[in-house]
Structure 1
Amino acid sequence: MRRVIPSLFVLLTLSFSVAAQTYPVHLNSIGFLPELKKSAAIPHECESFKVVNAETAKEVFTGKSTGPKFQKDVDQNVWIADFSEVKTPGKYYLEVPGLGKSTEFEIADDAFRFAAKTSMRAFYLWRCGMGVHGEYEGNVYETEACHLKDAYEDYIGKPGSQRNGTGGWHDAGDHGKYVVNAGVTLGVLFYAWDHFQVNLEKVEYELPETAPGYPEFLKELKWETDWILKMQYPDGSGRVSHKLTRTNFSGFIMPQDDHEKRYFTEWSSAATADFVALMAMAARHFKSYDAEYAQKCLDAAWVSYRFLQENPEYKRFEQGDFQTGGYQSRNVDDRLWAAAELWETTGDPECLADFEKRAADMEFEIDENWDWSDVSNLGMFTYALSERSGKNPQVAQTIRKDILENAGDLVKKAQEDVYNRPLAGRYYWGCNGTVARQTVNLQVANKLQPDKKYIETALDAVNHIFGHNYYNRSYVTGLGLNPPMNPHDRRSGADDVEAPWPGYIVGGGHSATDWVDEEESYSHNEVAINWQAALVYALAGFVN
């Protein structure tokens, strides 16, 4: 993104432009599906509203708003406009007498397909070790092949030795690669394919041919899986390096200009357990397309799983010389997930017993607020949805009950929040990713016991991300109304294109009202693969 010092005239022009895009009606600016819920929030006193066809200027629906409802965290009285009765495809806007109009939006069966494509292609644009190229809204986004010397083994006992660690995705706004964060990322993306394959096959991602014979969605996942395989120690022990980075963060430079020495770090038990889970998932999802590769993944999973069984103590990663992302995880949740995925892939009874014991130790808890530091939900969900025999009936019943109760709580919280945010009242670094990831809880519950409320609440999360929020803005670069322009992303900050790289969800505010669209604010505006995977999953449930 070009850095310029604006003149007073430019600043005044920009201020006017932003004001001109301020609408009194807050809604999902991407659009709505014909048969599902449609609503908007209006933080201004109003009694009625109408829906107008944007192409004919004809009124198609008139409704009464409900409210007001005061919510402390946003310090607003909010009225709600429900226009679910409008189902005819087309382009529309809401008009509120005395206040004004909303931005235009679309009602269509494929309303979310372009957003789903753009958010998934964002992973391709994150690729490390090869040049990437994308064109979006008249701009060209590209990098040259980068980090081709990944990486050195100085920190795993071989000073000066170099081994192939190329590939994978850059983790976030920086150029590092981290196994623990890749764990929840690939786990959620494999879930997206497992739960919504029919939907995702409708999307053309326009990816390069790096995995012949694979569906495009899985082709992108294999790019990361190939790198994860390289993180296992080559000595046959099963240990897995925690990350591959330089010792400190680079400045805002393009990845091909980052020539600092990069290293495999020491192993951690969390990274090793996540490796097991991912390789087990890869083995079963890739088997139909490449049985030899799938077996390679499974063999690697077994080596690391046996190592973990022989070494039950927690091995924390110590940062030492490194100032890059820590991703410290307590590892009990990672081990539980590893056992669940290896059992689901192989049916091994020892893995099943391992999982059930660990699940009991964790009191079968299902978390509504989860990310890379606690992936126990992934293990619980895999077990609950599995059709394999041999489950302990009491364990299975308890986990199912807890999943449904958790989803019910999310429904209630979304219904009580004026912007229907399922993570109602909780804000922190990366909370937008959690809002998107809560759709996994809801969709899993819907698979266990179909309920329209689960689907509507998952849609509430999507709506919130794309403008049904306090700011009346999209949180995703290049998509929706007034999207972020200054993400904490080294490519966006270092290239010569004013608009940021497209399709990336930013982390969000630490309170309901403190989000800032500023490049320097990594804790508010960074992009990251774990949040991105959650966005891909959230959209996957609504692709037609």
Structure 2
Amino acid sequence: MKKPVLLVFFLMSIIPNLFAQNIHLNSLGFLTDDSKTAVIPQSCTSFKLVSVSTGDIVFEGETTGPNYQKDVDQEVWRLDFSAFQKPGRYYLKVPGVGKSGEFEIGADVFNFAAKTSMRGFYLWRCGMAVDGEFAGNHYHQDACHLNDAYEDYIGKKGSKRDGTGGWHDAGDHGKYVVNAGISLGVLFYAWEHFQPQLEKMELDIPETAPGFPDFLKELKWETDWILKMQYPDGSGRVSHKLTRTNFSDFIMAHDDDAKRYFTDWSSAATADFVGIMAMAARYFKPYDAAYAKKCLDVAWVSYRFLQENPEYKRFEQGDFKTGGYQTKDDDDRLWAAAELWATTGDEDCLRDYEKRAAEIDYEILENWDWQNVSNLAMFTYALSSRDGKNSEIEKTIKKNIIANAEAIVEKGKSDVYSRALGGRYYWGCNGTVARQTVNLQVANLIQPNPKYKQAAIGIVDHIFGKNYYSRSYVTGLGINPPMFPHDRRSGADKIEAPWPGYLVGGGHSATDWVDKEESYSHNEIAINWQAALVYALAGFVSY
């Protein structure tokens, strides 16, 4: 994909202070009024904050430590310069260690990263040409998969209907309803929780939804495709995915001409369809009431089908070797009921939700992804202002949300690199770390406390360089970012730098992450992890 010698030149050009990678910090910078910390895995006693423009020392402090952490097998010393709040460009100088790279302090230090990360969804678009300029490179993909898709696997051999649009799911070109569920759910939350900031975000994307703010315009592109995944027979069933039978080689999407198919339905995909469409109906209504009604109408069709067919319908891969996304449907049905109630106030949906929530003892998860979306249901219920909720259930859920956030705060504080997932590592764990900011921000909406936002900032710090590797986990952003993501575009486009703004999955232990294209389990990108990154950054943008 990329030649090592070119990588060397790239790193030399973007990081003048690679020798000082021992100062681990958020390479994007720090918000003026919030926490500002760094860590150093070697003995040190003091530090200085230096202004880039004047060379003056503007702040001095003592380090604290050492603190030993087993999973990284390191002793680290902590630097805290939160008390300094003057905007500008600075670097840290540590006697016996060296100096850090330069960074910003200001109110808008995360704006560019938030925009770039959100534009990543536009660059994932299927069915239309996409273009992007970044760091002197022009990224382009022609319109792709315009023959989506055939119905051979839903009983109509040789028949084809429109399945174009949506986002490519990950490093491959497939489109999957279950993963779209958690991705859109988290992105809709970002809009609900941070709308005043996000409605000002200009993404420079095509006018595919006139009158919509850019953020929602991008979500509508995916929603338009999700609508096409419901069976056209009126049953309410929803195809689990739309892919070819096998993964393609590392080629551009517009060169992928293999037949692609609507697959058989699953109850999890059908329930996630309901959750997506109910949310779309709520958030799109101010901009297109007719479209919102269409979303709500089809949500009811699928919800009623699920009510009449309560048994679990697993998706069976059969001929397909693409992503399985097999999952039980209890949490998906819970989410469907919650969102449909939140949109309509329907009492039957409310009772359905409350019954299902009781069956899982109103649990709030700190480690969650597409396999279990019950948190989406719990958060929607807790934050809804609709009447009719059982006051004791509401009280219990809110109590559990706060307790969960408290646990996340403590884990973030006890981790030397502010990683709030504790010692758990697995395929895609960076996405879960980012997604924990949802738990924290929801808790802050229920019971405001600065420590919840501080823990969320700690997570952003971790993603952009305050980690074991002293590297950003996001392509094109921050210090020494990933160069070899498992992403077919980045591997096939003959451009040295990968497509920008994407969070890679991370290690399976605290020290085994590798920046290698072939290692999909360490270095793939995916819409569910990306949505979590966008949410994490959205909480701290300022316009």
Please tell me the TM-score bracket, short chain as reference: over 0.9
Once the two structures are TM-superposed, the CA of residue 202 in structure 1 deviates from its matched residue by 2.7
Instruction: Tell me whether 1:401 sits opposite 2:399 in the alignment.
Output: yes
Instruction: Tell me whether 1:200 sits opposite 2:223 in the alignment.
Output: no
Matched residue SS, 1:46: coil
Matched residue SS, 1:93: strand
Structure 2 Cα separation of the partners of residues 358 and 293 of structure 1: 30
Structure 2 Cα separation of the partners of residues 417 and 406 of structure 1: 17
Q: Which residue of 2 aligns with 1:283?
A: 281
Once the two structures are TM-superposed, the CA of residue 86 in structure 1 deviates from its matched residue by 1.1
Q: Which residue of 2 aligns with 1:310?
A: 308
Instruction: Tell me whether 1:271 sits opposite 2:252 in the alignment.
Output: no
Match of 2:174 among 167, 173, 176: 176
Q: Which residue of 2 aligns with 1:129?
A: 127
Once the two structures are TM-superposed, the CA of residue 199 in structure 1 deviates from its matched residue by 1.2
Give 1:387-426 correspondences, 5 Å limit. 387-426=385-424
Q: Structure 1 pair 128/401, CA: closer, same or farther in 2 (3 Å)?
A: same
Once the two structures are TM-superposed, the CA of residue 14 in structure 1 deviates from its matched residue by 8.1
Structure 2 Cα separation of the partners of residues 14 and 259 of structure 1: 34
Q: Which residue of 2 aligns with 1:21?
A: 18
Whether the 8 Å CA contact 2:11–2:480 is kept in 1: the answer is: no
Whether the 8 Å CA contact 2:17–2:100 is kept in 1: the answer is: no
Whether the 8 Å CA contact 2:339–2:377 is kept in 1: the answer is: yes
Match of 1:154 among 152, 155, 158: 152
Structure 2 Cα separation of the partners of residues 369 and 231 of structure 1: 29
Matched residue SS, 2:369: coil
Give 1:64-143 correspondences, 5 Å limit. 64-143=62-141
Q: Kindly provide the CA deviation profile for residues 227-281 of structure 1, in whole angstroms up to 9, marking residues without a partner as x.
A: 0000000000000000000000000000000000000000000000000000000
Q: Which residue of 1 aligns with 2:254?
A: 256
Q: Kindly provide the CA deviation profile for residues 472-523 of structure 1, in whole angstroms up to 9, marking residues without a partner as x.
A: 0000000000000000000000002100000000000000000000000000
Q: Which residue of 2 aligns with 1:522?
A: 520
Structure 1 Cα separation of the partners of residues 442 and 9 of structure 2: 48
Q: Structure 1 pair 61/143, CA: closer, same or farther in 2 (3 Å)?
A: same
Matched residue SS, 1:484: coil
Once the two structures are TM-superposed, the CA of residue 448 in structure 1 deviates from its matched residue by 0.2
Q: Kindly provide the CA deviation profile for residues 331-354 of structure 1, in whole angstroms up to 9, marking residues without a partner as x.
A: 100000000000000000000000
Matched residue SS, 2:138: strand
Structure 1 Cα separation of the partners of residues 7 and 423 of structure 2: 34
Q: Which amino acid is 2:464 matched to?
A: F
Q: Structure 1 pair 295/14, CA: closer, same or farther in 2 (3 Å)?
A: closer
Matched residue SS, 2:482: coil
Give 1:464-543 correspondences, 5 Å limit. 464-543=462-541
Structure 1 Cα separation of the partners of residues 10 and 454 of structure 2: 37
Structure 2 Cα separation of the partners of residues 320 and 496 of structure 1: 35
Once the two structures are TM-superposed, the CA of residue 55 in structure 1 deviates from its matched residue by 1.5
Matched residue SS, 2:140: strand
Q: Which amino acid is 2:220 matched to?
A: K
Structure 1 Cα separation of the partners of residues 295 and 76 of structure 2: 52
Matched residue SS, 1:429: coil
Q: Name the count of aligned residue pairs.
A: 540
Matched residue SS, 1:32: strand
Structure 1 Cα separation of the partners of residues 10 and 384 of structure 2: 54
Q: Structure 1 pair 29/526, CA: closer, same or farther in 2 (3 Å)?
A: same
Whether the 8 Å CA contact 2:465–2:473 is kept in 1: the answer is: yes
Q: Structure 1 pair 541/14, CA: closer, same or farther in 2 (3 Å)?
A: closer
Once the two structures are TM-superposed, the CA of residue 13 in structure 1 deviates from its matched residue by 7.0
Q: Which moved more, 1:244-253 or 1:49-58?
A: 49-58
Once the two structures are TM-superposed, the CA of residue 11 in structure 1 deviates from its matched residue by 8.7
What is the TM-score of this pair, normalised by structure 2?
0.98
Q: Structure 1 pair 430/390, CA: closer, same or farther in 2 (3 Å)?
A: same
Q: Which residue of 2 aligns with 1:226?
A: 224
Structure 1 Cα separation of the partners of residues 537 and 22 of structure 2: 26
Structure 2 Cα separation of the partners of residues 317 and 16 of structure 1: 48
Whether the 8 Å CA contact 2:25–2:39 is kept in 1: the answer is: yes
Structure 2 Cα separation of the partners of residues 345 and 201 of structure 1: 21
Structure 2 Cα separation of the partners of residues 524 and 232 of structure 1: 33
Q: Which amino acid is 1:112 matched to?
A: F
Q: Structure 1 pair 190/264, CA: closer, same or farther in 2 (3 Å)?
A: same
Q: Kindly provide the CA deviation profile for residues 100-122 of structure 1, in whole angstroms up to 9, marking residues without a partner as x.
A: 00111100111000000000000
Q: Which amino acid is 1:71 matched to?
A: Q
Q: Kindly provide the CA deviation profile for residues 367-395 of structure 1, in whole angstroms up to 9, marking residues without a partner as x.
A: 00000000000000000000011111111
Structure 2 Cα separation of the partners of residues 371 and 179 of structure 1: 14
Q: Which residue of 2 aligns with 1:336?
A: 334
Q: Which residue of 2 aligns with 1:446?
A: 444
Structure 2 Cα separation of the partners of residues 233 and 212 of structure 1: 28
Q: Structure 1 pair 46/331, CA: closer, same or farther in 2 (3 Å)?
A: same
Q: Kindly provide the CA deviation profile for residues 166-221 of structure 1, in whole angstroms up to 9, marking residues without a partner as x.
A: 00000000000000000000000000000001111232111110000111100000
Structure 2 Cα separation of the partners of residues 191 and 146 of structure 1: 30
Q: Kindly provide the CA deviation profile for residues 407-431 of structure 1, in whole angstroms up to 9, marking residues without a partner as x.
A: 0000000010101111121111001
Structure 2 Cα separation of the partners of residues 440 and 29 of structure 1: 22
Once the two structures are TM-superposed, the CA of residue 96 in structure 1 deviates from its matched residue by 0.5
Structure 1 segments unaligned to the other structure (5+ residues): none
Structure 1 Cα separation of the partners of residues 294 and 85 of structure 2: 49
Structure 2 Cα separation of the partners of residues 14 and 466 of structure 1: 18
Give 1:381-392 correspondences, 5 Å limit. 381-392=379-390
Once the two structures are TM-superposed, the CA of residue 15 in structure 1 deviates from its matched residue by 9.1
Whether the 8 Å CA contact 2:17–2:101 is kept in 1: the answer is: no
Structure 1 Cα separation of the partners of residues 515 and 16 of structure 2: 16
Once the two structures are TM-superposed, the CA of residue 56 in structure 1 deviates from its matched residue by 1.0
Structure 1 Cα separation of the partners of residues 151 and 10 of structure 2: 50
Q: Structure 1 pair 514/397, CA: closer, same or farther in 2 (3 Å)?
A: same
Matched residue SS, 1:81: strand
What is the TM-score of this pair, normalised by structure 1?
0.98
Q: Which amino acid is 1:340 matched to?
A: A
Give 1:206-221 correspondences, 5 Å limit. 206-221=204-219
Structure 1 Cα separation of the partners of residues 7 and 203 of structure 2: 38
Q: Which residue of 1 aligns with 2:299?
A: 301
Q: Which amino acid is 2:18 matched to?
A: Q
Q: Which amino acid is 2:329 matched to?
A: N
Q: Structure 1 pair 231/439, CA: closer, same or farther in 2 (3 Å)?
A: same
Q: Kindly provide the CA deviation profile for residues 86-105 of structure 1, in whole angstroms up to 9, marking residues without a partner as x.
A: 10000001110011001111
Give 1:23-38 correspondences, 5 Å limit. 23-38=21-36
Matched residue SS, 2:30: coil
Tell me the percent identity. Answer: 72
Once the two structures are TM-superposed, the CA of residue 3 in structure 1 deviates from its matched residue by 3.9
Structure 1 Cα separation of the partners of residues 309 and 63 of structure 2: 61
Matched residue SS, 1:91: strand
Q: CA RMSD in A?
A: 1.3
Instruction: Tell me whether 1:379 sits opposite 2:377 in the alignment.
Output: yes
Structure 2 segments unaligned to the other structure (5+ residues): none
Structure 1 Cα separation of the partners of residues 540 and 158 of structure 2: 50
Q: Which residue of 1 aligns with 2:242?
A: 244
Matched residue SS, 1:124: helix
Q: Kindly provide the CA deviation profile for residues 57-87 of structure 1, in whole angstroms up to 9, marking residues without a partner as x.
A: 1100110000000000000000000000110
